[in-house]
Chains A and B, each alone.
Chain A
Amino acid sequence: MTAQLHDASSIPLDKIDVSDPQLYQDDTYYPYFERLRREDPVHWCPESRYGPYWAVTKYKDIMHIEVNHGIYSSDAGTGGIQIEDQPKDMVRPSFIRMDPPRHDEQRKVVSPIVAPQNLSNMEATIRERTGLVLDGLPCNETFDWVERVSIELTTMMLATLFDFPWEERRKLTYWSDVAIANVNAPEAPVHSEQERFDELKKMAETMAALFNERAQGPPKFDLLSMLAHGEATREMPLLEFIGNLTLLIVGGNDTTRNSMTGGLLALSQFPEQYRKLRDDPALVASLVPEIIRYVTPVIHMRRTAREDTELGGREIRKGDKVVMWYVSGNRDPDAVEDPDSFIIDRPRPRQHLSFGFGIHRCVGNRLAELQLRILWEEILNRYPVIEVVGQAKRTYSNFIHGFRSMPVRIPMH
Chain B
Amino acid sequence: MPKVTYIEYDGTEHPVEVPLGLSVMRGAVGNNVPGIDADCGGECACATCHVYVDPAWLDKTGTPVPGSQEASMLSFAAEAEFNSRLSCQIAMRQELDGLVVRMPQGQH
Contact = CB atoms under 8 A, between A and B. Distances in A.
Given A115-B108, A117-B105, A119-B106, A104 B75 contact: yes
B22 interface: no
A115 B104 CA distance: 11
B37 to A, nearest CB: 6
B78 A112 contact: yes
Contacts of A358: 45, 73
Given A67-B69, A366-B106, A357 B43 contact: yes
A111 B39 contact: no
B43 A350 contact: no
A104 B45 CA distance: 15
Contact of B104 (A67, A116, A355, A365): A116
Nearest to B43: A63
Given A67-B44, A348-B41, A351-B41, A116 B76 contact: no
Given A350-B39, A351-B41, A358-B45, A100 B72 contact: yes
A108 B76 contact: yes
Contacts, number: 61
Contacts of B76: 104, 107-108, 111, 359, 361, 363
13 contacts: A63-B43, A66-B45, A111-B76, A115-B78, A119-B106, A350-B39, A351-B39, A355-B39, A357-B40, A357-B46, A361-B76, A363-B76, A366-B106
Contacts of A355: 39
B37 A350 contact: yes
A95 B21 CA distance: 37
A355 B37 CA distance: 14
Nearest to B72: A359
Interface string B68-83: 0100110110110000
A67 B43 contact: yes
Contacts of A66: 45
A114 B45 contact: no
Interface in A64-89: 66-67
Q: What are the 5 tightest A-B residue pairs by CB atom distance, in nearest-first order? A: A116-B106, A357-B45, A115-B78, A116-B105, A366-B108
A156 to B, nearest CB: 22
A117 B73 CA distance: 20
Interface in B35-92: 37-41, 43-46, 48, 69, 72-73, 75-76, 78-79
- Majority secondary structure of chain A interface residues (helix, strand, loop or mixed): helix
B106 to A, nearest CB: 3
Interface string A343-366: 000001011000101110101011
A286 to B, nearest CB: 12
Contacts of B107: 116, 366
Contacts of B44: 67
A293 to B, nearest CB: 11
A351 B27 CA distance: 17
Nearest to B9: A116
Nearest to A116: B106
Contacts of B69: 67
Interface in B5-51: 37-41, 43-46, 48
A359 B39 CA distance: 14
Contact of B46 (A100, A111, A361): A361
Contacts of B104: 116
Contacts of A116: 78-79, 104-108
Given A114-B108, A119-B106, A63 B73 contact: no
Interface string A45-69: 0000000000000000001001100
A173 to B, nearest CB: 25
Nearest to B75: A104
A379 B100 CA distance: 41
A365 B108 contact: yes
Interface string A96-132: 0000100010011001101111011000000000000
Contact of A115 (B40, B72, B73, B79): B79
A81 B37 CA distance: 27
Contacts of A351: 39-41
Contacts of B37: 350
Nearest to A60: B43
A335 to B, nearest CB: 9
